[in-house]
Chains A and B, each alone.
Chain A
Amino acid sequence: MCFHRILINQKGYKCYHPPSQKFFVSRDVTFFEHQSYFHQAHLQGETARNEDELLMLPDLSFRPEIKTKSVTTEKELTKSTQDGANVRFGKKLVYTRKTKAIPEFVHVQQSNPTLLEVTTPNPLIYTESTSDFPNVQEPESSSTPLYENLDIPIALRKETRKCTTKPLYPLANYLSFKNFLPTHKTFLSSLNTTTTPTSLSEVLSDKKWKQAMDAEMEAFKKNSTWDLVALPNGKKPVGCKWVYTIKYKADGSIERYKARLVAKGFTQTYGVDYMETFAPSAKMNTVRMILSLAANYDWNLQQFDVKNAFLHGEIEEEIYME
């Protein structure tokens, strides 16, 4: 039995008897707080055969256990021992499967059954006069074929898994380009066929990426971004890396391959490599204000776009890049 619940409107605990899957109410209940009703999970393949095992209940599928009614006196306990049941902790033990003894968790002592408003289901309770405890009478020799392999851990009882060679649920069954616009289709399919390189050797073997890198280096030279020097002692260089991107046109076709050398600015330390940070993004309110001014005063409104925007910074601090 297990799963007690305190019922507010009734004078007792609601108990559950798993084998018969029935509920009943009893006032006389003993709690076994240190024991878990459920099996502690063993590691896969581990054969658990130790003393603790005795205190553990098997899974819910064990055979009906015995509830005794008013089996509380020593005399009766002795009697049940004679019947072949185990006695443990001074309480009546219910039946065991094979060699394992399973202590009863809750010993229901319905010494005063008249108090109970809900009568306990009949099959659960054996009356005092019942001398034949069917389960108890067959202690160790009760290995019926049904329970034969129950001692093997569950994991071993299962078949080994087989790997399926082809995917059970291929993506093609669920994804389709059908619903996309033609322009999106070309973009998506080109996404699959064109990839940005991940390694330097991959880049060097590809002409188009090499061209893109050359263009970037050219821009550096033109802006005289750096000088090649030997790293002075005590200076820490800032790392750098190439970032490759593919620029797409609005219709999804490839516009150009772009390579950009970026410094790993996150390795810069405040006060050493830089004193201030800059974020040149305008507030939208300012944009609106300017537009409003231009409209009201009929000012000429012009727009410029800067190529290689960030190559033009004049750096006051010295930065060494490796």
Chain B
Amino acid sequence: MYGLKQSPRAWFGISLGFKQSQGDHTLFIKHSKSRGVTVLLVYVDDIIVTSDDEEEQQRLGQHLAKNFEIKTLGKLKYLLGIEVTHSKKGIFISQQKYITNLLKETGKTACKPASTPIDPNLKLGSAEEDTAVDKEMYQRLVGRLIYLSHTRPDVAFAVSLVSQFMHQPKEVHLQAALRIVQYLNGTPGKGILFKRNGNVSMEAYTDADYARSIVDRK
């Protein structure tokens, strides 16, 4: 029943020996006896299943089809606005269609592509004296950029900068945001490639920029 608070619980009743992850409650994992692993991820009405146990995966598909009215879409191609392509090298995800729409909406389809997402010397502050811009429009634009940074880590830093001024956007901020869009126009096909190299160790990097912010000197 739509609208009821507990409606989405349907997903959490799935049994079949799946264990709910504590890190992400929409992730369900099952280790089968044949040392295989089946992983199920739910996003409202979209489900992704991946497994190295062909048999288990089939059984899950049947179970889902029995209990829910389900459309099997086959190999994962398109999820939440993200295009997924499979190749010999690995899995590539991009949001080209999303970028094309964004360019259309901002009227930047024909703009000159920028080579970087942000001017390297630009220091953004709150710019109190600058003229204010349409807040809703700005927030919408930056919101779309934030979603885009899922497959575009190259714009993530620039997006994090412009998203700091959502509450009171000024002309400079809008210009910086549009600069990101211009950069995207030059590179709409970029995305993330998950390489098939069998290396699943975790590596972490960090970098801090000392006192660069002109807002609070942090």
Contacts and interface: CB of A to CB of B under 8 A. Distances in A.
A230 interface: no
Contacts of A56: none
- A interface secondary structure, majority: mixed
B209 interface: no
Interface stretch (A21-29, A92-100, A108-116, A259-267): A259-267
Contacts of A299: 50-52
Count class of interface residues, chain B: 35 or more
Nearest to B72: A304
Given A260-B2, A301-B76, A280 B8 contact: yes
B196 A298 contact: yes
B72 A302 contact: yes
Interface string B73-84: 111110110101
Given A287-B79, A304-B61, A310-B10, A240 B3 contact: yes
Looking at B5, B54, B57, B77, the one whose CB has the most chain A CB atoms below 10 A away is B5
Interface in A265-322: 265, 268, 273-288, 290-317, 319, 321
Given A265-B4, A287-B79, A310-B8, A280 B26 contact: yes
Given A296-B196, A309-B10, A263 B1 contact: yes
Count class of interface residues, chain A: 35 or more
A294 B194 CA distance: 9
Contacts of A263: 1-4
A321 B2 CA distance: 12
Contacts of B199: 296
Interface string B183-211: 00000000010111111100000000000
A319 B4 CA distance: 9
A238 interface: yes
13 contacts: A260-B2, A261-B2, A265-B7, A278-B9, A283-B24, A287-B43, A290-B39, A293-B200, A294-B194, A297-B198, A303-B72, A313-B1, A315-B9
Interface of B: 1-13, 21, 23-27, 39, 41-52, 54, 57, 61, 64, 67-77, 79-80, 82, 84, 86, 90-91, 93, 104, 150, 192, 194-200
Given A265-B3, A274-B5, A295-B195, 7 more contacts: A277-B6, A290-B41, A291-B194, A301-B86, A301-B91, A315-B1, A321-B1
